Amino acid sequence: MVCCVTPEPHDHADPLGLARDAPLLDGWLRFGAAVRAGAMTPFTIPGHKQRTHLVGDVVRSDVPLYAGLDTMKQDGGLLAEAERRAAAAWGADWCRLSVGGSTHANQAAVLALGRPGQDLVITRTLHRSLLLGIVLAGLRPVWVRPELDAVTGLPGAVPVAAVEAALAAHPDACGVVLGDPSYIGTRSDIARHAAAAHAAGVPLVVDAAWAAHFGFSAAVPPHALAVGADALITSAHKTLPAWSQAALLLARTRRSGGLLDPDRLERAFDATHTTSPAGAILASTDAARALLQQHGAGLIARLVDLVDGARGRLAAVPGLAVVTSRPDGHPAGPLDVDPAKLVVLLAGTGAHGHAVEADLLAAGIPLEMADRDVLAPMVTLSDDESSVARLVDALAAAVERHRGEPRSISPAAAWTVEPVTATDPRSAFFARHETVTAAAAVGRVSAELIAPYPPGVPVLAPGEVISAAALGALQAARADGGRIAYAADPTLTTIQVIAADQPGELRVPHGKS
- pLDDT lower than 70: segments of the chain: 1-11, 502-513
Fold of domain 79-287: Aspartate Aminotransferase; domain 2 (3.40.640)
Sequence-distant (≥ 6) Cβ neighbours of residue 403 within 8 angstroms: 319, 349, 350, 351
CA distances from 285 to 65, 112, 204, 313 (A): 13, 23, 24, 33
What CA–CA distance (Å, rounded) separates 494 from 42?
Answer: 51
What CA–CA distance (Å, rounded) separates 96 from 75?
Answer: 18
Nearest to 306 by CA among 366, 237, 384, 378: 384
Pairing of strands 247-251, 231-235: antiparallel
pLDDT score recorded for residue 4? 46
Domain 413-498: give its CATH superfamily. Answer: Orn/Lys/Arg decarboxylase, C-terminal domain (3.90.100.10)
How many CB atoms lie under 10 A from the CB of residue 485? 15
Domain range annotation of the chain: 19-76, 79-287, 304-401, 413-498
Q: What is the mean pLDDT of the chain?
A: 94
The CATH number of 304-401 is which of 3.40.50.150, 3.90.380.10, 3.50.50.60, 3.90.1150.10? 3.90.1150.10
What CA–CA distance (Å, rounded) separates 140 from 160?
Answer: 20
Task: Classify 185 in phi/psi space as left (phi over 0), alpha (psi -120 to 50) or beta.
Answer: left
- Sheet with 231-235, strands from edge to edge, namely 94-98, 247-251, 231-235, 204-207, 176-179, 119-123, 140-144
What CA–CA distance (Å, rounded) separates 205 from 292?
Answer: 22
Nearest to 357 by CA among 372, 343, 345: 372
pLDDT score recorded for residue 510? 35
pLDDT score recorded for residue 509? 38
